Every structure is written in structure tokens, then in C-alpha cells.
Amino acid sequence: MNNRGKIFTLSLIIILIFGYFFGQEREVIKENNKVIKIGVLQLLSHTALDTIYKGLEDELSNLGYKVGDNIQIDLQNAQGDQSNLVSMSDKLVSEKNDILVAITTPSALSLSNATKEIPIVMAGITYPVEAGLIKSEQLPGNNITGVSDRTPLKEQLDIMKQILPNIKKIGIIYTASEDNSVKQANDMKKLAEELNIEVISKTVSNTNDIQQVAESVASNVDCIFIPIDNTLASAMPTLINVTDKYKIPVFPSSDSMVIDGGLLALGVDQYKIGVETAKVLVALLNGEKAETKPIVIANDGIIYLNEEKAKQLNIKIPENIKEKAQIVK
């Protein structure tokens, strides 16, 4: 072979090698451009949960994951119905979503029954260990991790006592099927009884019970505590209609429930729960494992105050509390 021939052959080899690698890279790029399928299961609609979802979607976008571009989100809303939770969980799993998000404890329990493989990110789950979702908050040990919205009950009770120094009887209303509120209701009962405050606690099974249960509790107590309960959060006006009639202040557990007529809550920024959830989700997409990823506690302990309600009920809020509070109305 003459020199020209050699150069020709060498160039051909180089072109083939380049072609091969470019071809490979395109493959890789295609793989990276794969649209990620995210399945979200929400128990029902109330302001707080809708705000969590908004925070999630916004932060995913900030982190470069945009709906209709490189991610696809299938948001399922069970409208508060347990059988919907089961069928929607099965659907999200069988449609091969890459990752799942659970908004509320009942949604997380339902998704965790449907899959032990697909990672599940919890968005604002109050007590993930006690609900039986994970082994420990430091080391979940399975396909579930995410964000808890636990708030310190002792501080909440403390504030209630500062506002109403003479409380003798606290009412607690919660939903029997929500692990998140069952535990909070029991813990609050214990704390109050330690301070010699009598507790009257009653459960509802759905929103239809609220009116009647509220009547029987409100007529009999100095104030009412509502845990971080989805069913009650979705029907605050029904509760508040009754408590206003008896002029009884309600201390709920989220900003949204204060906006909807509660007096004051020590709560968590719901939007931030969504933001933190998105960060966990992206960490998992980048290769971290749910099994070993500790739970994030989104507990910023913000006091949310409804001044209009305080005026209406003729309740004086101490200055030191007012100074720290975020006035929602």
C-alpha cells in the first residue's frame, strides 16, 4: 500500500471510530432525555395539601424538572375514599411510574401496600414510624423516605395556656382512620392531663359526623384542639359554625385551618413541605437510596394567628405571642 492508500485507510478508521462513539453518545443522551414518570397520590383536596403539591411542582421546575418537558406527573386524588386509594395506588404502580409521591398518611400507607420496589417520597407525613411506614427516621430501611410535618405539641399546649390561663377542659376532635391524628390526639390528651386539664376527645369517621360531634364537644369545653387531620381540614367551616355558636376558640394544627376559622396554630409552612419533598425526590433520581435517606423534618414552628377571630371571640392574645405570630387574618 502506498502512502496515499495508508492515509486513506487511516482516515476511514478514524471516521468509523468517531462515528461509533457519536452514535453511542446519542444513545446515552437519549437515555438521559427519557421522560421521568412521577405518580402522585393525594387523599383529598384541602388548602394545605393543594399548597404542598404546588410547592412540589414549583421546586421540581426550579431544579430543572419541568412537566411536559422531561417529567410527566400523574396526580391522583382519592376524594377522601379508601377504595379509591387502593385502586389509584394499583394504577400508579401498574403504569410503571419511576417514582411515587404520597400526600397524606393514608396515601402513603396505600402506596406502600402496592409496591415495595418503586421509591415512595412522603410529602408531609406526620408520624411515618408510628404509622408503620418505615423502621426509623434516620434509616428508613425500605423504599420509603421523605418529609414529616410534625409540630411540637407541648409548645402548642403552652401557647393555649398562655392565651387561656384558666382552661379546665379541652376538647379534641379527630378522625379515627387517620394514624397521623390518632397519635397526635393521644399525645395531646396525655400532656393536658399531666397539667390537670380534663380532656374530652371524640372521633369522626368522615365529614358527615363533624356537625354532630362538634355540637356535643363545644357545648362542654373551654377550647378545642384539632390535630393535623385531613378530614377536619377539609371541612373547617362546618366545625367553626358550631364552635362560633358556643363562642369556643379552636386551636388547629396548620395555617390553612387558621385561615378557615381556627384561632391560632403552631404549624409548618405547607409550601415548604412541597419544596423539601421535591428536593428529596430529585436526590433519589440522582441515585440516592430511599432505604438509607433520613427523613426531613419540616418543622419551622410558625405561630399562625387569626386576629379577626380573636376579636370576634373577645379573646386577648398576649403581646409576646402576637409579636412572634404570623397574622393570617
Sites of contact with ligand TRP (CB under 6 A): 48, 104-105, 124-126, 149, 180, 228-230, 233, 254, 256, 270
Single-letter code of the amino acid located at 50: D
Residues 153 and 208: beta-carbon distance below 8 Å:
no
Pick 72 or 203: Cβ nearer ligand TRP: 203
CB of 186 to ligand TRP, least distance (A): 15
The three cell numbers of residue 316 are 386577648
CB of 247 to ligand TRP, least distance (A): 24
Pick 97 or 105: Cβ nearer ligand TRP: 105
Pick 149 or 248: Cβ nearer ligand TRP: 149
**Cell 377504595 found at:** 83
* DSSP conformation letters of 9-31: HHHHHHHHHHHHHHHHHHHHHHH
Residue 40, H or E segment: strand 36-42
Pick 51 or 97: Cβ nearer ligand TRP: 51
**Cell 398518611 found at:** 105
CB of 60 to ligand TRP, least distance (A): 18
Residues 159 and 266: beta-carbon distance below 8 Å:
yes
CB of 253 to ligand TRP, least distance (A): 6
Ranges of beta strands (E only) in 99-182 are 99-103, 120-123, 144-148, 169-175
CB of 56 to ligand TRP, least distance (A): 12
CB of 180 to ligand TRP, least distance (A): 4
For residue 285, report the phi and psi dihedrals to the nearest 5 degrees: -65, -30
Pick 97 or 175: Cβ nearer ligand TRP: 175
Pick 64 or 132: Cβ nearer ligand TRP: 132
Longest dimension (CA), the chain: 106
* DSSP conformation letters of 187-218: HHHHHHHHTT-EEEEEEESSGGGHHHHHHHHH
